[in-house]
Structure 1
Amino acid sequence: MIVYKFGGASVKDAAAFRNIRHILASVALNEEKLIVVSAMGKTTNALELVFKQAYQGQEYRHTFAEIQDYHLQIVRELFPALQHPVYAALHQQFAHLRVLLEQVQPHDFDRQYDQIISVGELLSSLVLHHFLDQQDLPNHWLDCRDVLRTDETWREGRVDWTWTEQQISHRLPALLAEKPIITQGFIGGTAQGATTTLGREGSDFSAAIFAYCLQAQSLTIWKDVPGLLNADPKLFRETVRYEEIAYQEAIEMAYYGASVIHPKTVQPLAKRCIPLYVKSFLHPQEPGTVIWNCQHDRIAPSFILKQNQSLLSFHTKDFGFISEQHLSSIFQALSRHRLKINLMQNSAISFSTCVDTDEPRLEALKADLAEEFQILYNQPLHLFTIKNYDQPSLDKLTHGKEILLEQRSRQTFQFVCRPTQEFPH
C-alpha cells in the first residue's frame, strides 16, 4: 500500500481538486491508498487570524464569513446540486467553528488554538472525500483523531506511538482492502477526546506516521515544486533539484528549516526504510526526488533561510563566567517555554541563541530568567544555513550582509544577519 499527502496548494481551488482526481486515477487499481490532506489554500492562516481576533475580544465575524465563503465557492463549483450531502457536512463544521469562537476565553491560548485551527483539515478532507465519491473513486473518510493519539502538549502534540500504531495497524488494513482512505494531516486527539495539532506544516508528519504504522511501500508528498530543491525558489533565483538524497541528509536539512519537509517527517520513515518521494502535483509524470537509504557523493550546497528570528544573549548579573549551572537554567527555561534553539554559541561571559520569534513565549522566558540574567536581544533577523558549503557559496551568500553571529563545522555554515531582500543564488 502507498500513502499520498496533498498540501494546501494541492486543494486551493476547484481545479486543484480535479487535478488530485487525475493523479489518483493514474495509480494502479490494485494498490491500496491512504490519502492525507492539508487545509485548503491559506485556510490555516485565516483560522489563526479569526482565532486571535476572538481571543483579543475583537470583531471576527467578517473573517469568519470570508473563510466560509471561500470554501462554499469551491464547493459550489465542484457540486452544482445544492442538495449534495457535502453542504450539510460543511454546514455542521462551520456551525461547530462558530460555537468554538463564541466560547473563546482570554486564557489557555494554546489549547483553544488547537480546537479552532484543526477545523481546516476537517473541511478539506470532507470536500475531497465527497468529490472523489462523485467522480467514481469511492473512499472511506477517516477522522484521524480516532487513531492518532497525542498527549496534551497543545500546538505540538507528542505522539503516543504504541497506542497509535496498535490502532492504525489493526483498524485500517480491512478498510484499505475495500477502498482508499481519506484523512487529515496536522491534527490528532488526546485520550480525553480533545483535538491537538502537531505543529505548523505538520501534515507531512501525519503522513509519515500513517506510513510507518502501516509499513507502507512508500510515501509521496505532492508539492508545487519539482522535487526537493537546494533552495526555496520563492527566495533564490537559481535552484538545483536533487534526484535522490539520503535519509540523514534530509533530516539535517529539515532540522535547519528546509521548507519542503517537516522536521519530524523523515525519522519514522528511515526506521522502516520507507522511501519518501517529493513530487510536483503540477507535473505528476516527472520523477521528483526520492529520499531513501542511499549513498551519494558530495551534493550541491543547500541554502536554507529561517526568517523572523530573535537573537538572545544571556549575561550573568554578577559579571561572572557562564557556567554549566547557568546553561542548565537557560536550557530548562527554553524547554519550558517551548522555544527551539536554532543556533547557539557560548563565550566566557555570555550565552547566545537564535530562536523563532514568538512574542508571548519570549516575554515569558525573559520574565522567568530576569532575576538571574541580563538578557539582550535583536529582532527581526534572518538565519541562513548552508549545508555542504564551499567557498564560492559562502562568498555569494554573505556578501553585503551585516553578520551578527556565525558558526561553521566541516559541512555546515550558519550565520545570523539583519534582514535583506538580496538573495544572489
Structure 2
Amino acid sequence: MKVYKFGGASVKNADAFRNLAQIVQNHGGSRQLLIVVSAMGKTTNALEHVFNTAYAQQDYNQALQESQDYHQETVQALFPDASHPVYEELEHLFSKLDATLQNLNRQTNYDQLYDQVVSFGELLASTILHHFLQLQHLTNTFIDSRKYIQTDTTWREAKIDWDWTERLIKRDLPAILEQQLIVTQGFLGGTNNGLTTTLGREGSDFSAAIFAYCLHADAMYIWKDVEGLLNADPKYFSDTVRYAEISYQETVEMAYYGASVIHPKTIKPLANRLIPLYVKSFLNPTGEGTKICDCRYQKLAPAYIIKENQCLISFSAKDFTFISEKNLGTIFNALSELRLKINLMQNSAISFSICTDCNEERLQKLLKTLQDQFVIHYNTGLILYTIKNYDTESINKVVANKEVLLEQRTRTTFQFVCK
C-alpha cells in the first residue's frame, strides 16, 4: 500500500494532469494507492488575494473570475465532452466559494475565515483529478479529507486529533483500497462541527504522511519538480548535490531550518512507523530520487538552506539588568501566543536576540505587548543562512561579501543572519 503526494506544480495545467495520470499508470497500479493532491499551480496565492480583497470589502469578482477561468481552461483541455459532470461540479464549487465570500462575517476570527475560503483550491484540483483518472480507466473513489483528518480549531495551523483521525481512516479506507485508488486533498482538515481547517502552508506533505501513518503504508512518495532531496535550492546554487539516501533525523533538521522540499511535520509520523519516504521527480519518474529512512552514513555533503524575509529582534531590560530566565519566559510566552516561530536565538548578558519569519501584523503586536518591559530593536528584510554538516569551505562559500548581523555555530550547524 502506497501514498502518492502531488504538489501544485504537478497539476498546474492540462499537460501536468496527463503526466500525473501516466505516472500513476506506470508506477502506482490500479489499487492500494491513495493520492493526495494540492491546489493547482499558484491557486492558493490567488485565493489568498481573493479572500483579502473580499475581507477588505472591496470588489473581488475579477480576481475570482480569473481563478475560475484558469480552472475552466484546464478542464476544457482535459474533457472535450462539455456535458461531462466535472463541468457542473466545478461550477458548483465556484458558486459555493462565491457565496462564502459574500457572507464573510468580519466579526469572525480572520484566520477562521481564511481557512474556509483558501481550502477551495484543493477541492477543485482533487475534483478534476478524480474525473480525469476515471477517464483514463483508473477507477478511483473521491474522498473529502476534512471528514477524516480531524483537528482542533487552531486556524491555519490546525493540530491533529490522531486517535479520532486514525479510527475514521481505518474504518473506511482499507476496504476501498482493496478494490481501487483513492483521490483526496492535501492541506485540509475538519473540526467535529463541520468547519474547515488547514494544516499550514505546504501542509499537503503532512496530509499524505497522516494517511500513510494511519493506513500503515509500505511507502510514501512525494513527486516534485526536482530529482530528489538536494543539498541546496537550485535557484540559488548551481552545483547542487542529490542525496541518494538520508535519515529521518537529518531530514527533520533540514526541514526545521527551512528546506523547502519537505514540510517540517511530515517526517515524524513516518519515522514512528518506519515508513520510507521517497522524493521523486514527476519530470523524470524513472530517476532514482531520494530515499528518506532509518539509515546511517559516514558523511553527508553540506546542506545550504536559505530563508528570506526574516526579522531580527533584540530585547534588552529597561533597567540595564541582566537578561534573566524570568525575562526569557515573558518573551517566549508572547512569541507563543502570537505564533511567531524562532528560527535562531542568541543571548548575551544584557540582551536577547531572535530571528523569525517577518509577519508585520504579528511583529507589531509583539512590540505592543513587550514595549513596556523591554527596549526593543529590530531589522526586517533580512536573510537567514543555515549550513548543515558545514566545513570551512562551505562557510567561506556563502559568507563572502555579506554583512553579517548575527552568527552562531554548533558541532554540525552554522547559521548567520545578513542583509
**TM-score band, normalised by shorter chain:** over 0.9
* Alpha-carbon distance change, 17 to 30 in structure 1, aligned in 2, over 3 angstroms: closer
Q: How many residues align?
A: 418
The aligned counterpart of 2:179 is: 178
Contact 2:31/2:177 (CA < 8 Å) preserved in 1? no
**How far did 1:171 drift?**
1.2
Secondary structure of residue in 2 paired with 1:125? helix
Distance in structure 2 (CA, Å) of the matches to 1:28 and 1:12: 20
Distance in structure 1 (CA, Å) of the matches to 2:27 and 2:284: 15
Distance in structure 1 (CA, Å) of the matches to 2:105 and 2:399: 46
Distance in structure 1 (CA, Å) of the matches to 2:17 and 2:321: 61
| Equivalence map 1:389-400=2 (5 Å) | 389-400=390-401
The aligned counterpart of 1:250 is: 251
Contact 1:2/1:31 (CA < 8 Å) preserved in 2? no
The aligned counterpart of 1:423 is: none
**How far did 1:28 drift?**
5.9
The aligned counterpart of 2:97 is: 97
The aligned counterpart of 1:26 is: 26
Q: Please give the per-residue CA displacement for 1:267-308, whole angstroms capped at 9, x wherever unaligned.
A: 110010000000000000011000001111110000000110
| Equivalence map 1:151-190=2 (5 Å) | 151-190=152-191
**How far did 1:12 drift?**
0.2
Secondary structure of residue in 1 paired with 2:342? coil
The aligned counterpart of 1:301 is: 302
The aligned counterpart of 1:422 is: none
**How far did 1:92 drift?**
1.0
Distance in structure 2 (CA, Å) of the matches to 1:235 and 1:382: 13
Unmatched runs of 5 consecutive residues or more in structure 1:
419-425
Contact 1:36/1:183 (CA < 8 Å) preserved in 2? yes
Contact 1:56/1:106 (CA < 8 Å) preserved in 2? no
**How far did 1:102 drift?**
1.2
Distance in structure 2 (CA, Å) of the matches to 1:112 and 1:236: 39
Dislocated runs of 4+, deviation >4 Å: none
| Equivalence map 1:103-122=2 (5 Å) | 103-107=103-107, 108-122=109-123
Q: State the AA in 1 paired with 2:397.
A: K
Secondary structure of residue in 2 paired with 1:342? strand
Distance in structure 2 (CA, Å) of the matches to 1:254 and 1:93: 34
Contact 1:118/1:187 (CA < 8 Å) preserved in 2? yes
The aligned counterpart of 1:73 is: 73
* Alpha-carbon distance change, 231 to 411 in structure 1, aligned in 2, over 3 angstroms: same
Distance in structure 1 (CA, Å) of the matches to 2:84 and 2:31: 29
* Alpha-carbon distance change, 31 to 296 in structure 1, aligned in 2, over 3 angstroms: farther
| Equivalence map 1:15-414=2 (5 Å) | 15-27=15-27, 29=29, 32-107=32-107, 108-414=109-415
Unmatched runs of 5 consecutive residues or more in structure 2:
none
Q: State the AA in 2 paired with 1:183.
A: T
Contact 1:310/1:356 (CA < 8 Å) preserved in 2? yes
The alignment's TM-score, normalised by the length of structure 2, stands at 0.98
**How far did 1:57 drift?**
2.2
Q: Please give the per-residue CA displacement for 1:155-182, whole angstroms capped at 9, x wherever unaligned.
A: 0000000100111112110111121000
Percent identity between matched residues is: 59
The aligned counterpart of 1:421 is: none
